[in-house]
């Protein structure tokens, strides 16, 4: 479904990602792991076209998106939930969700039924300002906004970081529902290695912007985690 061929990515003059090659199967949960500052978030930003420059080829369903701007990648089916959520605090919950609909100019600004099923709290508080929600609720809002783009593939950058445990469990269940029941392909940057081991169909581990390990989820062993992820 998604292929990267010899991807190099830069912020200004800084070379962050080096010769990344990967293939992600349709319907997979693909986990991106690594210590802090090794390029995990940059990989997701590269996929949505948010770095200064990129070399190499990016294919989604055989469509070459390598030189396409961010809005075109969203229209092609790439949804993105950034680290830190980046909801608009002065917009209402409804307005934040409906922003996602503008990824497709042919779609109507309507909250998807799926959002109602996954996040009943948001539906009960559509008029509330996004900035008044808790961190976990804002994360749910960011995911709801991404769902409203009608994505084929969803990028999640540390979706459970800094969130209260009861909401973490809800978000993890949401990820599994989106993938297992709806068939949505998910690329997940995650610090919770146990969760990644449990749900990943595929994975890669980055170190200093390079892939140091990759494979099927069942090969993400404790020994590999100990070697590449412990401090």
Share of the chain above pLDDT 70, in %: 100
How many angstroms separate the CA atoms of 135 and 129, rounded? 13
Q: What b/e sequence results for 154-186 when a residue is b if at least 16 CB atoms lie within 10 Å of its CB, and e otherwise?
A: bbbbbbbbebeeebbebbbebbeebbeeeebbb
Q: Which pLDDT tens digit goes with each residue over 115-160?
A: 999 999 999 999 999 999 999 999 999 999 999 998 999 999 999 8
Domains within the chain, CATH numbers bracketed: 2-228 (3.40.50.300)
Q: Are 42 and 51 in contact (CB under 8 A)?
A: yes
Question: Would you state the pLDDT for residue 108?
Answer: 81
Q: Is the pLDDT of residue 167 over 90?
A: no
Tell me what the mean pLDDT of segment 200-223 comes to. 95
How many angstroms separate the CA atoms of 58 and 220, rounded? 25
Tell me what the mean pLDDT of segment 16-34 comes to. 96
Beta strands in the chain (DSSP E): 2-11, 14-24, 29-33, 53-60, 63-64, 78-81, 153-157, 185-189, 202-207, 210-216
* Model confidence pTM above 0.85: yes
Tell me what the mean pLDDT of segment 66-90 comes to. 93
Instruction: Residue 91: name the closest of 114, 122, 49 by CA.
Output: 122
Q: Are 153 and 79 in contact (CB under 8 A)?
A: yes
When the pLDDT of each residue in the chain is averaged and rounded to a whole number, the result is 92
């Amino acid at each position: 479904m998604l292929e990267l061929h010899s991807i190099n990515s830069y912020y200004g003059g800084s070379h962050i990602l080096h010769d990344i090659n990967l293939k992600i199967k349709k319907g997979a949960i693909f986990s991106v792991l690594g210590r802090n500052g090794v390029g995990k978030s940059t990989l997701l930003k590269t996929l949505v076209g948010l770095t200064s420059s990129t070399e190499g080829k990016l294919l989604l369903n055989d469509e070459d998106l390598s030189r396409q701007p961010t809005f075109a990648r969203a229209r092609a089916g790439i949804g993105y939930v950034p680290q830190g959520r980046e909801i608009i605090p002065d917009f209402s919950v409804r307005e934040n969700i409906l922003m996602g609909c503008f990824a497709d100019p042919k779609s109507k600004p309507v909250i998807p039924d799926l959002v109602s099923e996954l996040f009943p709290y948001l539906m009960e508080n559509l008029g509330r300002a996004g900035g008044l929600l808790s961190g976990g609720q804002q994360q749910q809002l960011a995911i709801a906004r991404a769902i409203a783009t009608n994505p084929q593939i969803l990028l999640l950058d540390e979706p459970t970081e800094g969130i209260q445990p009861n909401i973490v469990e809800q978000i993890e269940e949401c990820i599994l529902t989106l993938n297992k029941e709806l068939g949505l392909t998910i690329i997940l940057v995650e610090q919770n290695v146990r969760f990644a081991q449990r749900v990943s169909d595929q994975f890669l581990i980055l170190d200093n912007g390079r892939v140091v390990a990759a494979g099927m989820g069942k090969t993400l062993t404790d020994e590999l985690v100990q070697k590449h992820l412990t401090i």
